[in-house]
């Protein structure tokens, strides 16, 4: 079977071309590729650096003739680079300084993988906040844990984040935000993920806020965004229906005008947090005669209105979704967000508009850290697990997955900072993460062995039951779209291939 990494490397070569060879600092007669592998060019002499010597990626100074060059640019800043998305991107690595590398893109320009001192100070501020506000026994995965006491803490914790102004960190100040840079949002998300912070209401500060920013009326922005920024309302998402999942544009929940109001009927399903939420981000069909992508509108639905009911839908991972039933629910006209019929484009554009950045890699880093500790402290066959070659190779694979996702997240961030739509890295990041999730949990299961199948509560459970819980939760990876469908998004929106 071809490993996903080989596939990933092949795909990136198709898109970016083969990696160029770079020499170590001061080595004029030797050449070294960034990956430390022998470059393919005929006759190239490769020497590995002595142990402990740091290699910085530098350009060879040689370039292929124009006729053989693909669209990677020539190294002049005036070049138009169509496929290399790392150019001029100042991104942060979040690793200790000994791991940092200054790299170069194939056009020879610097790619900075370190944070600025101000960004490092911000990271420290976030860490100090977490030290003060998040006791380790209150950290939990709020997508898969239904413990009411922990949920009470999660709500209070999120309100405290709101009081700092950090929920709307990147939003304009007139709408309850702090107008801070996107990189700070990424840093915050990384630190929260590394501590498993129960920062709830992601539909509110993600999808709903993004839609308001993209299409909300001025009055809606001034009213709802500050409410979300203070966490006054908990939002659920009402997109999927029993007959419309991947093919969301086929949704049939109907909204009909009645005087100044709307009457809404239909069924939603998979509604995460619906039983805890106050309002729903609801997609409904307002024009059945329009082309299907243009007949959808978005509503802010008060879940206490007459005609709204739920039934539970428990998932394998230990969390709860819901079926949501809407029976002629009367919704005031001003609860339609933005314009009639524009719902599809709002859904598509909301994530980035709300300052959406992915820190899924930090979740993997947290899990990897726990497994690594386990391997250092657990003895099997008379030696620590971490000395077992089979375990080491699996640990390396886990680290590779976390690192791959980190770089894709930074590429997305770089795109966003430079005003490019993060279509490619964003779409590739989704595919990679969705396909990593089960594989990551399976590898952990192989490392910790059969005790990884025991649930929390058993004194023998590996990682206190986390290994088992991660395994079950990893199969909820179709939330937000399946990997097959994300592959199509990558092909069409990311690579521009025809449908
Ligand atoms: C844990 C969890 C939480 C969720 N939370 C919410 C929520 O809060 N709100 C909400 O609205 N939704 C939510 N969802 C729903 C989620 O968005 C859908 O499950 C997802 O979009 C897939 O839809 P589906 O389950 O109907 O699968 P289907 O669309 O029926 O797909 C079934 C299978 O067919 C494949 N398939 C479908 N179409 C194609 C195609 N064209 N080409 C190739 N393969 C295809 C899919 O990849 C999949 O393997 C949640 C789901 C989960 C698992």
Query: Is residue 98 very low, low, confident or very high in pLDDT (cuts 50, 70, 90)?
Result: very low
Cα 252 to averaged position of ligand 1 atoms, centre (Å): 16
Query: Is residue 314 very low, low, confident or very high in pLDDT (cuts 50, 70, 90)?
Result: very high
Name the nearest CA neighbour of 243 among 253, 234, 233, 235. Answer: 253
Task: Return the pLDDT at 67.
Answer: 33
Asked if 280 contacts 273 with a C-beta cutoff of 8 angstroms, the reply is no
How many beta carbons lie within 10 A of that of residue 96, not counting itself?
Answer: 7
Cα 485 to averaged position of ligand 1 atoms, centre (Å): 9
Cα 483 to averaged position of ligand 1 atoms, centre (Å): 9
Domain final residue, candidates 175, 200, 225: 200
Name the helix (H) or strand (E) containing 346.
helix 343-353
The overall pTM is greater than 0.85: no
CA torsion, points 371, 372, 374, 375, in degrees to nearest 10? 120
Name the nearest CA neighbour of 272 among 434, 478, 440, 134. Answer: 478
Question: 10 in a domain, yes or no?
Answer: no
Using N-to-C axis directions, what is the helix angle for 423-448 and 4-16, rounded to 10°? 160
Name residue, tokens 């900075």: 112
Q: Spell out which residues line ligand 1, taking CB within 6 angstroms.
A: 237-240, 245-246, 270-272, 315, 321, 476, 478-482, 484-485
Q: Which residues contact 472 (CB under 8 A, 6 or more apart)?
A: 144, 316, 317, 318
Query: Is residue 106 very low, low, confident or very high in pLDDT (cuts 50, 70, 90)?
Result: low
Asked if 157 contacts 199 with a C-beta cutoff of 8 angstroms, the reply is yes
Question: 34 in a domain, yes or no?
Answer: no
Residue nearest atom 30 in ligand 1 by C-alpha distance? 245
Name residue, tokens 């100040």: 173
Could you list the beta-strand ranges (E) of 356-396: 379-380, 383-384
Q: Does residue 187 sit in the same domain as residue 122?
A: yes
Task: Return the pLDDT at 216.
Answer: 97
Name residue, tokens 């206490």: 304
Asked if pLDDT for residue 371 goes beyond 60, the answer is yes
Q: Does residue 359 sit in the same domain as residue 415?
A: yes
Mean pLDDT of the 418-445 span: 90
Question: 289 in a domain, yes or no?
Answer: yes
CATH number of the structural domain spanning residue 449: 1.20.140.10
Asked if 412 contacts 429 with a C-beta cutoff of 8 angstroms, the reply is yes
Locate 312 and state its tokens.
């539970």
Q: Which residues contact 389 (CB under 8 A, 6 or more apart)?
A: none
CA–CA dist 296, 341 (Å, integer): 5
Q: Does residue 337 sit in the same domain as residue 359?
A: no
Residue nearest atom 24 in ligand 1 by C-alpha distance? 245
Mean pLDDT of the 428-441 span: 95
Q: Which atom of ligand 1 is nearest to the CA of 272?
A: 8
Question: 280 in a domain, yes or no?
Answer: yes
Using N-to-C axis directions, what is the helix angle for 360-377 and 466-473, rounded to 10°? 150
Q: Which residues contact 132 (CB under 8 A, 6 or more apart)?
A: none
Number of residues that this document lists for the chain: 499
Digit-coded pLDDT (tens) for 107-156: 666 666 789 999 999 999 999 999 999 999 999 999 999 999 999 999 99
Cα 251 to averaged position of ligand 1 atoms, centre (Å): 13
Task: Return the pLDDT at 356.
Answer: 77
- Quickly list DSSP for 226-255: HHHHTT-S-EEEE--BTTBSSSGGG---EE
Question: 32 in a domain, yes or no?
Answer: no
Cα 440 to averaged position of ligand 1 atoms, centre (Å): 21
Domain final residue, candidates 341, 363, 397: 341
Q: Does residue 280 sit in the same domain as residue 196?
A: no
Question: 321 in a domain, yes or no?
Answer: yes
Cα 318 to averaged position of ligand 1 atoms, centre (Å): 18
Asked if 327 contacts 361 with a C-beta cutoff of 8 angstroms, the reply is no
Cα 193 to averaged position of ligand 1 atoms, centre (Å): 24
Q: Does residue 366 sit in the same domain as residue 454?
A: yes
User: Which of 204, 316, 476, 479 to probe ligand 1 with, by most ligand atoms within 8 A of CB?
Assistant: 479
CA–CA dist 259, 256 (Å, integer): 10
Residue nearest atom 23 in ligand 1 by C-alpha distance? 245
CA–CA dist 365, 367 (Å, integer): 5
Domain final residue, candidates 306, 341, 376: 341
Q: Does residue 387 sit in the same domain as residue 476?
A: yes
Task: Return the pLDDT at 84.
Answer: 31
Strand partners of residue 379: 384
Task: Return the pLDDT at 157.
Answer: 98
- Provide the residue range defining the domain that includes 192: 117-200
Q: Does residue 188 sit in the same domain as residue 252?
A: no
Residue nearest atom 17 in ligand 1 by C-alpha distance? 480
Mean pLDDT of the 90-111 span: 46
Question: 411 in a domain, yes or no?
Answer: yes
Name residue, tokens 């990311």: 494
CA–CA dist 250, 240 (Å, integer): 10
Task: Return the pLDDT at 95.
Answer: 35
Asked if 33 contacts 19 with a C-beta cutoff of 8 angstroms, the reply is yes
Task: Return the pLDDT at 35.
Answer: 33
User: Which of 482, 490, 492 to probe ligand 1 with, by most ligand atoms within 8 A of CB?
Assistant: 482
Q: Does residue 336 sit in the same domain as residue 242?
A: yes
Digit-coded pLDDT (tens) for 199-255: 999 999 999 999 999 999 999 999 999 999 999 999 999 999 999 999 999 999 999
Cα 477 to averaged position of ligand 1 atoms, centre (Å): 9
Residue nearest atom 20 in ligand 1 by C-alpha distance? 481
Q: Does residue 188 sit in the same domain as residue 148?
A: yes
Asked if 30 contacts 53 with a C-beta cutoff of 8 angstroms, the reply is no
Q: How far is CA 170 from the centre of its chain?
A: 17
Number of domains making up the chain: 3
The DSSP bridge pattern shows strands 320-332 and 308-314 to be antiparallel
CATH number of the structural domain spanning residue 305: 2.40.110.10
Residue nearest atom 39 in ligand 1 by C-alpha distance? 485
Asked if 234 contacts 201 with a C-beta cutoff of 8 angstroms, the reply is yes
Q: Does residue 192 sit in the same domain as residue 243?
A: no
Q: Does residue 282 sit in the same domain as residue 360?
A: no
Cα 359 to averaged position of ligand 1 atoms, centre (Å): 22
Question: 70 in a domain, yes or no?
Answer: no
Q: Does residue 336 sit in the same domain as residue 383?
A: no
End-to-end CA distance of the chain: 28
């Amino acid at each position: 079977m071809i490993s996903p990494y080989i596939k990933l490397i092949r795909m990136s070569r198709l898109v970016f071309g083969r990696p160029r060879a770079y020499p170590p600092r001061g080595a004029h007669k030797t050449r070294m590729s960034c990956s430390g592998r022998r470059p393919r060019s005929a006759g190239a002499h490769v020497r590995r650096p002595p142990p402990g010597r740091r290699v910085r990626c530098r350009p060879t100074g040689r370039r292929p003739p124009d006729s053989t060059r693909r669209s990677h640019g020539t190294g002049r800043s005036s070049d138009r680079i169509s496929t290399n998305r790392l150019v001029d991107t100042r991104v942060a690595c979040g690793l200790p300084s000994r791991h940092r590398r200054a790299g170069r893109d194939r056009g020879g320009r610097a790619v900075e993988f370190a944070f600025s001192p101000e960004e490092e100070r911000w990271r420290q501020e976030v860490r100090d906040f977490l030290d003060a506000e998040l006791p380790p026994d209150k950290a939990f995965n709020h997508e898969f844990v239904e413990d009411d006491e922990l949920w009470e803490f999660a709500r209070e914790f999120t309100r405290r984040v709101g009081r700092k102004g950090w929920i709307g960190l990147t939003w304009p100040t007139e709408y309850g935000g702090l107008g801070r840079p996107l990189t700070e949002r990424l840093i915050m998300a990384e630190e929260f993920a590394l501590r498993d912070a129960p920062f709830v209401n992601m539909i509110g500060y993600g999808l709903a806020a993004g839609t308001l920013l993209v299409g909300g009326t001025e009055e809606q922005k001034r009213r709802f965004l500050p409410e979300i920024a203070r966490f006054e309302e908990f939002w659920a998402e009402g997109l999927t229906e029993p007959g419309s999942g991947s093919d969301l544009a086929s949704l049939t929940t109907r909204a009909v005008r009645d005087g100044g109001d709307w009457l809404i009927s239909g069924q939603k399903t998979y509604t995460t947090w619906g039983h805890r939420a106050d309002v729903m981000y609801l997609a409904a069909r307002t024009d059945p005669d329009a082309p299907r992508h243009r007949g959808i509108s978005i509503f802010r639905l008060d879940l206490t209105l007459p005609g709204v009911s739920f039934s539970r839908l428990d998932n394998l991972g230990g969390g709860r979704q819901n079926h949501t039933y809407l029976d002629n629910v009367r919704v005031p006209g001003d609860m339609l967000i933005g314009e009639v019929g524009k719902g599809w484009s709002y859904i598509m554009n909301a994530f980035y508009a709300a300052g959406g950045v992915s820190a899924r890699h930090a979740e993997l880093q947290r899990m990897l850290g726990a497994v690594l500790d386990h391997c250092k402290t657990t003895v099997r066959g008379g030696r620590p697990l971490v000395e077992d070659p089979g375990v080491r190779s699996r640990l390396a694979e886990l680290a590779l997955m976390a690192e791959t996702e980190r770089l894709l997240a930074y590429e997305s961030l770089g795109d966003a900072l430079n005003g490019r739509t993060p279509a490619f890295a964003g779409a590739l990041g989704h595919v990679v993460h969705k396909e990593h999730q089960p594989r990551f949990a399976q590898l952990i299961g192989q490392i910790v062995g059969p005790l990884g199948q025991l649930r929390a509560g058993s004194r023998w459970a590996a990682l206190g039951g986390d290994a088992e819980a991660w395994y079950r939760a990893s199969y909820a990876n179709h939330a937000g779209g399946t990997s097959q469908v994300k592959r199509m998004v990558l092909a069409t929106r990311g690579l521009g291939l025809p449908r």
